[in-house]
Amino acid sequence: MSGFVGIVSPKINIAEANKSLAKVNHRGSDEQGFYLNESENVFFGHKRLVVVDKENGKQPFCFKEFVLIYNGELYNMEELRNDLIKKGYDFIGYSDTEVLIKLYVEYKEKCVEKLNGIFSFAIWNEKTKELFGCRDHVGVKPFYYYLKNKNNGDFMVCSEIKSILSYFKINSITSDGLREILGLGPSHTPGCGIYPNVYELKAGHYLKYKPLDLNAKSHNFSEKLTIERYWNVPAIAHSENFDETAKKTRHLLEDSIRRQLTSDVPLCSFLSGGLDSTAITLIARKFKLDLETFSIDYLDNYKYFSGNDFQVSQDNDFIKLLIKRFQLKHNYITINNEQLVDTLYDALVLKDFPGMVDVDSSLYWFSKQVKQRFTVALSGECSDEIFGGYPWFYKEQQNEFFPWIRNLDERNSLLNQKFRDKLNLINYVKERYIQTLKETPLTGMESKQDKRHKQLTYLNLLWFMQTLLDRNDRMTTGAGLEVRVPFADHRLIEYLYNVPWKYKFDKNREKGLLREAVKDIVPDEILNRKKNPYPKTHNPKYLNSVKKLLKASLKNKNSILNYIFDKKALQNLFEDSIEQKPWFGQLMTRPQLIAYLYQFDLWFKHYTLNLIE
């Protein structure tokens, strides 16, 4: 895990470049490094969390005319290294950083076709004066860039938006930024950086940037910045029967977990007692017998829990079963209401715009506790998106929008009339939904059911899963913890994309295929347990706490809330008699909406934002 900043500019402000790098100190507290070529106006900075090969993985890493800044882990490093040795390359150490730069030297942009892992990186070529940047297949690791002047301006790449905001003193938000936050939030359109001139390099894409020669007679923008997609889920016919499919699924999952256990520092596993984390933990213990596990719960949560379609049971009884049966060394971590509320601010700053509020802040706080003894952890994130675990995969939908956003009318009704007309949230969201459906890879031979489920899977991969991966990255790296996600292996995702829905929903159970694939290792009690999401608080103290915070914000006449929102609609949120649909996904209901609006106000204050109308 690392953080980086790369700047190509006619004039680099070294002091501000260093400040922008300092903004991602949390991503790499062990080491920092710099590369500066003033004649070429290039600055590369890197913050490193040491996981593998402390001495020989220092960055920026220079080899021949190439300079690399890199964040991530390559899980097929040994195969890549052996391939390069056969081609005559020597190695000074065993870091994947050295493997990556030499792989690029050998294969240039085609190197990305050989990578298996989680990564974002940038390489400067001193000879051709060109920058190459790349992000991993499914977007586990972040990559942002800034470009304002298409003819002759500043270009910047980085791990987090806050570095761009710092260097370029950005403190404004456009109407489209508001549409993202209020219409789609806490998800966002792939590629959108929310702020003006800030962009996200999409998952599975790479870019090339070449500064313009100011003496040239003509400037062609397409020659300055090009972006290419190098990976997407393929649409192909699935030929294996169910048993063969389950066997292949197990092989791919087990191989992904085995590869992700590589670490020179302490490694543990998150364990909720659900199918996903249990499968990962028990498979990982085949290769690492002393694997410790961690779970999070909320103080007195059992007193207030009431099951529903999304959360049908609590985790602790299942965790206890696993501890007893497998003699696990498990660590229970309990967060109280004050800690949960106090970290809402930290979660916002780590995210750089409003997120999943207490679902974020609890993960951040939890990760800080884990970090006291461990540096790397395994997580069961991403299983539901690829195996069809969410209710919207198997229940009839009521609208033709993103299935995790079922409240567009309510979102719109929170705005005052001026901003309802101005932002037109419903059309904005619908356009993005329709565009994603059009992009869905299909063979044209799918049944009506399989076509719809491929569309749902594609929507989930690009939108919902990306939201959770962003959350996972910002909150865990904010605590200095590297969290790996074996279910996000692109080989597993490629394979499952084309598996018929009847296999995934085997025996009319969500994730029926996964249950079959791990039935020999996961206890029946958990195999038969209905899916439960990441735990959230049900304590009424939390609702009361965020109510107080939002009420205090509304008392400020200059608050952005009083400018954009309908006052009566906001006041109605405080009434306990009001029933409301989930704001987002499974976990964000009324308490989280109130917290989200509080974060929205805090966002404008902390970032001193101006609204560009």
Q: Is the pLDDT of residue 350 over 50?
A: yes
Bridge-based pairing of strands 2-8 and 61-63 is unpaired
Looking at residue 577, its pLDDT comes to 67
pLDDT at 398 over 80: no
Average pLDDT over residues 487-515: 97
* Separation of alpha carbons 425 and 461, rounded Å: 23
Query: What confidence score (pLDDT) does residue 446 get?
Result: 94
Q: Is the pLDDT of residue 151 over 60?
A: no
Is residue 545 scored above 50 in pLDDT? yes
Distances (CA, A) of 185 to 44, 345, 424, 456, 590: 32, 17, 15, 19, 15
d(CA 159, CA 85): 31
Structure confidence at residue 53 as a pLDDT band (50, 70, 90): low
What pLDDT does 453 receive? Answer: 95
* pLDDT at 246 > cutoff 90: yes
* Segment 317-329 mean pLDDT: 95
Does domain 242-397+458-527 fall under CATH 3.40.50.620? My reply is: yes
Q: Are strands 482-484 and 330-335 parallel, antiparallel or unpaired?
A: unpaired
Domain extents for the chain?
2-169+201-229, 242-397+458-527, 540-612
Listed in sequence order, the DSSP H helices in 460-539 are 465-478, 490-497, 501-504, 512-517, 524-527
pLDDT at 278: 97
Q: What is residue 315's predicted lDDT score, i.e. its pLDDT?
A: 80
Per-residue pLDDT band at 306 (split at 50, 70, 90): low
The pLDDT score that the predictor gives to residue 302 is: 67
Q: What is the pLDDT of residue 583?
A: 86
Helices and strands counted in the chain (H then E) = 28, 19
Q: What is the pLDDT of residues 329-340, one digit of tens each?
A: 999 999 999 999
**Average pLDDT in the chain:** 92
What b-and-e string marks burial along 486-518, b requiring 16 or more CB atoms within 10 Å of the CB?
bbbbbebbbbbbbbbbebbbbeebbbbbbbbbb
Q: Do domains 2-169+201-229 and 242-397+458-527 have the same CATH topology?
A: no
**The pLDDT of residue 153:** 77
Question: What is the pLDDT, as a whole number, of residue 563?
Answer: 97
What is the rounded CA–CA span in Å between residue 163 and residue 169? Answer: 10
Confidence at 223, pLDDT banded by 50, 70, 90: low
Angle at 470 between CA 465 and CA 474, to 5 degrees: 150
Going by DSSP bridges, is the β-strand pair 376-378/267-270 parallel, antiparallel, or unpaired? parallel
More confident residue, 302 or 471: 471
For residue 530, what pLDDT is reported? 81
Cβ contact 605:354 at 8 Å: no
Q: Compare 110 and 54 and report the one with higher pLDDT.
A: 110
Domain 2-169+201-229 of CATH type 3.60.20.10: yes
Q: Supply the pLDDT for residue 313.
A: 55
Does residue 60 surpass a pLDDT of 70? yes
Q: Identify each DSSP E strand in 369-520 by its residue range.
A: 376-378, 482-484
- The 10 Å CB-count burial string (b at 16+, else e) for 75-86 is bbbeebbebbee
| Contact between residue 101 and residue 68 where contact means Cβ atoms under 8 Å apart | yes
Work out whether the CA dihedral 465, 476, 364, 529 comes out positive or negative: positive
Percentage of residues in the chain having pLDDT higher than 70: 94
Tell me what pLDDT residue 301 has. Answer: 77
pLDDT over threshold 50, residue 222: no
- Whether 270 has a pLDDT exceeding 70, the answer reads yes
Residue 214 has pLDDT above 50, yes or no: no
Distance CA 163, CA 165 (A): 5
* pLDDT over 80 at 212, yes or no: no
Mean pLDDT of 440-467: 96
Per-residue pLDDT of 359-373, as tens digits, reads 999 999 999 999 999
Residue range 581-598: mean pLDDT, rounded: 89
Q: What CA–CA distance (Å, rounded) separates 565 from 572?
A: 12
